[in-house]
């Protein structure tokens, strides 16, 4: 039986991961970690608070989750826009506060979460850390520009994943740490930007999770450090 921790369970993709693992017969306990409570209730769920931009919140996680007790960690938090910030169309819109906010949530937070979670993962062939990245973080795939802070934060995240995967593999040859691109998924994050995507190409969160869990389950230690899309195809840097 496996134990799972999911960060960002108030978000659409995080919540769909939570529902998937709660209904999975091989999962015993799910730590649902977010800054506000979601409405999923089940006896397998342990709710923990975490504001990713509050540095004091991180250490609290290790006091609640025992060492060597987790099999899967899914980081499904992220930010593209909010009431005060929109992705930049041109360089003239760049703003230091917005840059810092996007990088704090999308790149710095996953790195600090890896610091917390490395000792909490137990060595076994089933163990995996998956972090929601995005295809727009690929430098070679950038054909239309724009979205400076979001793109750059996901490119930075991909480098953090690669670097941490190398360190993890030195200690544990079975370790798997990967980035995941969920496709275009109908969530608050993508809602204002779905115009250019044909209707049939926009996934519901549960459709995306069905794809992503297949990718997760087929990942091998040789894949560690890589970024995969929902079809299991590697996304190059």
Ligand X SMILES: NC(=O)c1ccc[n+]([C@@H]2O[C@H](COP(=O)([O-])OP(=O)(O)OC[C@H]3O[C@@H](n4cnc5c(N)ncnc54)[C@H](OP(=O)(O)O)[C@@H]3O)[C@@H](O)[C@H]2O)c1
H helix intervals, 65-204: 96-103, 109-117, 148-171
Backbone angles phi, psi at 75, to 5 degrees: -100, 105
CA of 28: how far to CAs of 4, 88, 115, 221, in Å? 8, 43, 24, 24
Distance (Å, whole) CA 190 – CA 13: 11
- Asked if 189 interacts with ligand X (CB under 6 A), we say yes
- Asked if 218 interacts with ligand X (CB under 6 A), we say no
- Asked if 213 interacts with ligand X (CB under 6 A), we say no
Distance (Å, whole) CA 103 – CA 157: 9
Q: Which of 40, 44, 47, 53 binds ligand X (CB under 6 A)?
A: 53
Residues 168-187 that bind ligand X (CB under 6 A): 181-182, 184-185, 187
Query: x/- site string to ligand X, residues 8 to 37, per CB under 6 A?
Result: x-xxxxx-------------------xxx-
Q: Nearer Cβ to ligand X, position 36 or 90?
A: 36
- Asked if 155 interacts with ligand X (CB under 6 A), we say no
Q: Which residues bind ligand X (CB under 6 A)?
A: 8, 10-14, 34-36, 50-53, 76-79, 105, 132, 134, 181-182, 184-185, 187-190
């Amino acid at each position: 039986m496996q134990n799972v921790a999911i960060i960002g369970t108030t978000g659409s993709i995080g919540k769909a991961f939570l529902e998937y693992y709660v209904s999975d017969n091989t999962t015993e306990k799910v730590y649902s970690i977010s800054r506000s409570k979601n409405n999923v209730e089940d006896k397998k769920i342990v709710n923990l608070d975490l504001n990713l931009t509050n540095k004091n919140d991180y250490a609290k996680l290790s006091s609640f989750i025992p060492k060597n007790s987790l099999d899967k960690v899914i980081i499904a938090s992220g930010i593209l826009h909010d009431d005060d910030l929109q992705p930049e169309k041109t360089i003239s819109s760049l703003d230091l506060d917005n840059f810092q906010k996007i990088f704090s949530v999308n790149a710095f937070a996953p790195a600090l979460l890896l610091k917390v979670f490395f000792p909490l993962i137990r060595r076994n062939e089933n163990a995996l850390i998956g972090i929601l990245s995005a295809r727009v973080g690929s430098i070679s795939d950038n054909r239309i520009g724009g979205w400076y802070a979001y793109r750059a934060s996901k490119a930075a995240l991909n480098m953090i994943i690669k670097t941490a995967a190398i360190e993890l593999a030195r200690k544990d040859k079975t370790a798997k740490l990967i980035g995941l691109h969920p496709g275009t998924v109908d969530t608050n994050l993508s809602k204002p930007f779905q115009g250019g995507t044909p209707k049939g190409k926009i996934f519901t969160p549960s459709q995306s999770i069905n794809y992503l869990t297949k990718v997760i389950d087929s990942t091998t230690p040789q894949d560690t450090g890589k970024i995969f899309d929902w079809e299991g195809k590697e996304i190059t840097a």
